[in-house]
Structure 1
Amino acid sequence: MQWRLLSAGARAVPEPLATPRVWTGAVLGSGLLVGGVNQVAGPGEPLVHLAALSVLAAVLGTRARLGAVPGIACLCWLFFNAFGIPPAGVLTWSPSVDLQRMSLLAGAALTGTLVGRVVHARTAYRRITPPR
């Protein structure tokens, strides 16, 4: 076994972003995304909105801590429910459908978080491990 100092050019695993920053990104990104999809596909296309918000949740999850996942899902769902489903500006709650939608968004954010952590850990491991 050979020990290498971290100051010898190797860097540790990058820290995830702070949770409030990720949630701010979720609010801004969801608002812009839902508004853009409403302009392109129209407000009557919930599957397009849900797919786009799931991708956003996964991308935000790649730089987030695990504790930020529920907030990402809730914030994306709020914009989806308020502006992605007609009538616009009205929050509704249908337990069976909305729990599935929130679960999908939470699953996307969780998947993004896990993928981001694994990628960062593998990259850091390769930086620290000496070549053979």
Structure 2
Amino acid sequence: MIEWALITTGARPVPRPAATPLVWAAAFGGALLLVALLNTLVGIDRPELALPAVSLLAALLGLFARFTAAPGTALLCWLILNAFAVPPVGTLTWAGSRDALWLTCLYTAALVGTVGARLAHARAAYRRVTLAEPDDAPMDP
């Protein structure tokens, strides 16, 4: 005997990531604002506080960005850190291992934010196939 059952799908649309130039503008402006705030509150000679703060900003921006925005986000955040969080302020320098570590931290943070967002969106958009319950079937408590 064949029984017919109604199959329903619960597809949800996946949100579109923000445009890359918009993410980069937010990275530049947000990092500049954050570093200026930290310089005002704790002083210029404390870049060890600025790196985690700007890394968190990069991760938050990654939640709304495409994967292709991560390198630019990291680079823009690093430029602000290097120019305004490390004395002499306003001068770009390259201190080999320190700056490589900073770029790695910022890039990793941006990627972690993007991967987390993509996983959350994929899970939300997952199509579930369920059998529809007939009207006369008893409901489980």
The 10-residue stretch of structure 1 (65-74 or 87-96) with the greater mean CA deviation from structure 2: 87-96
Structure 2's unaligned 5+ residue stretches are 1-5, 132-141
* Alignment-derived partner of residue 14 in structure 1: 15
1:123 aligns with: 124
Query: CA shift at 1:130, angstroms?
Result: 5.3
Aligned partner of residue 11 in structure 1, secondary structure: coil
Higher Rg: 2
Instruction: Give the TM-score normalised by structure 2.
Output: 0.83
Higher helix share: 1
2:7 aligned partner, one-letter code: Q
Post-superposition Cα deviations, 1:71-112, rounded to whole Å, max 9, x if no partner, equal 000000000000001111010012221111100100000000
Say what the alpha-carbon RMSD is for the aligned residues.
1.8
- Per the alignment, in what secondary structure is the counterpart of residue 7 of structure 2? coil
How far, CA to CA, are the matches of 1:59 and 1:88 in structure 2?
26
Shift of 1:2: 3.3
SS of the aligned residue for 1:81 comes to: helix
Q: Residue type matched to 2:128 in 1?
A: T
TM-score using structure 1 length: 0.88
User: In the alignment, what sits opposite 2:81?
Assistant: 80
Which amino acid in structure 1 is aligned with residue 34 of structure 2? L
Is residue 2:7 matched to residue 1:2?
yes
Larger mean Cα displacement after TM superposition, 42-51 or 116-125: 116-125
Listed one character per residue, the Cα deviations across residues 38-74 of structure 1 (whole Å, up to 9, x for unaligned) are: 1111111111000100000000001110000000000
Runs of 4+ in 1 over 6 A off after TM superposition: none
Q: After superposition, where does 1:32-71 map in structure 2 within 5 Å? A: 32-71=33-72
- 1:92-103 aligned at under 5 Å gives the runs 92-103=93-104
Unaligned runs of 5+ in 1: none
Q: Distance in 2 between matches of 1:83 and 1:61?
A: 23
